[in-house]
Amino acid sequence: MSGHKESVQMLCIFPETDRNIFDRKGNTPLHQAIMHWQDGLLEMLIQDGADKDRPHAITGLPPLHFAASMQSLKKVQELLKAQADPTKRIEGPQCSWCKDHNSPPGRNARCVLQEVPDQDRTPEYCSINRLLSDAILRPNGAGSGSTNSSRRGKIRSPYRVGSLVYVL
């Protein structure tokens, strides 16, 4: 799948086509759409039945985590709007905030974003960080996928990652 809108439209025409099939590199159609961005591709695939939380066959990154790692604000926004789960835990080290707050093992979408080295962070990094933080901390909010009410009313505290200070 090349990521072009026409290819996605052809995929969606045939009801027997697996919307979650892996290519030889382990990508689902959603991962391909993230890599070969055109407006509307993610929404089209999700509306047609693609699993918005299906992990990559090799890296284990769900589409939202993958978009976060690529630091693409538009893709992260579109996936959150489609209710992709930012709290979904995948194998790997937690970010410092998750460790400090005794979160379950593994990484959520924000932990994946935090792994981007300081020197590789784009201008969209801070906006994505805020968007993911809000989605993760908002109980029963859009895209949160969480019913954890223990976070309600907690005071947000600052923490440091490298030379940057974040408030969650």
Q: What is the pLDDT of residues 6-35, one digit of tens each?
A: 766 666 677 777 788 899 999 998 999 999
Structure pTM?
Answer: 0.77
- Give first-to-last CA distance, the chain, whole Å: 39
Q: Is residue 160 part of a domain?
A: no
Say if CB 29 and CB 49 are below 8 A apart.
no
We report the CATH number of the domain holding residue 35 as 1.25.40.20
Q: Does any domain span residue 85?
A: yes
Establish if 35 belongs to a structural domain: yes
Q: What is the pLDDT of residue 107?
A: 96
Instruction: Tell whether 164 is covered by a domain.
Output: no
pLDDT, tens digit (0-9, with 9 covering 90-100), for 98-155: 999 899 999 999 999 999 999 999 999 999 999 999 999 886 544 434 333 344 444 5
In a domain, 70, yes or no: yes
Can you say how many angstroms the Cα of residue 160 is from the centroid of all Cα atoms in its chain? 22
Confirm if 129 and 110 have CB atoms less than 8 A apart: yes
How far apart CA 91 and CA 158 sit, in angstroms, is 25
Total domains present in the chain: 1
Q: Is 153 among the domain residues? A: no
32 within some domain: yes
* DSSP bridge pairs for 84: none
User: What is the full DSSP assignment across 67-113?
Assistant: HHHTT-HHHHHHHHHTT--TT--BSSPPPHHHHHTTPPSSB-HHHHH
| Predicted local confidence at residue 37, as pLDDT | 79
Q: Which domain holds residue 55?
A: 5-146
Residue 156 located in a structural domain: no
